[in-house]
Amino acid sequence: MYNNFTPSLLKGILAMTLLLGMTPHPSHAHSPDDHSSDAHSSDADDWHWVHDGMAEKGRITGGFRVGPSFTTQDAGLSTAGPLINFQGLYGLNNWFRIGMMLEWDNHGLDRPGSGSMSTITVLPVNLEYRPGRFGNVIPYVTTGIGVNINTKDVADSFAWRIGGGLDYALTNWFPGAPQGTMLNVETAWKRNHANGDASTIGLLFGVRHTF
């Protein structure tokens, strides 16, 4: 089931985001001093496409997300396990962010009494592309490379992570919330070929704040 679900989901996310990014649409310029992620302009309230990804040039974004992690192959691990994710990003322009990511996931071993295997993934290079937005909803795709550090005498491996997600300003629901805080949901596939295929797909929920 997951073998078919994983590539289909990722292909759909990537195709939709790239299609929106390549389609010409009228955009509305923002002053560099504007807090664009919290702006309540008339164009942000309408559900039309605006080619402004609000990547916040020159500003730093930190994120904390949690959720479930699912194995994509039968590698002697339980199908589902917990996932914790930290990230830091820097806005290059209105559409791109670059930064780093740290992720931990844990899956039980199928052999009774064998405990579980944890993987700490360090991605020193992580790129995020934000092609635009539907009103206050901002889709993006993300990819990064690094290393998987595995426990239980499992060899470390090359890590490649690719996925997509959505940001939504918290102030749209709670006017008194801190400016720059975004509610976030993201799904991503992560390569982990170590003593077999221990690759996973994660579903993350959390917040990201731009300073």
Give the rounded percent of residues in the chain with a pLDDT score beyond 90. Answer: 62
Report, in angstroms and rounded to the nearest whole number, the Rg of the chain calculated over CA atoms: 18
All structural domains of the chain, each given as residue ranges with its CATH number in brackets, are 2-25+41-210 (2.40.160.20)
Query: pLDDT of 114-139, one tens digit each?
Result: 789 999 999 999 999 999 999 889 99
SS3 letters for 23-43?
A: CCCCCCCCCCCCCHHHCCCHH
pLDDT of residue 117: 93
Query: pLDDT of 80-110, one tens digit each?
Result: 999 999 999 999 999 999 999 999 999 988 7
Average pLDDT over residues 188-209: 95
pLDDT category, 14, cuts 50, 70, 90? low
Structure-model confidence comparison of residues 68 and 136, the more confident one: 68
Structure-model confidence comparison of residues 208 and 44, the more confident one: 208
pLDDT exceeds 80 at position 158: yes
How are beta strands 200-210 and 181-190 bridged, if at all? antiparallel
Q: Residue 126: enclosing H or E segment and its boundaries? A: strand 116-129
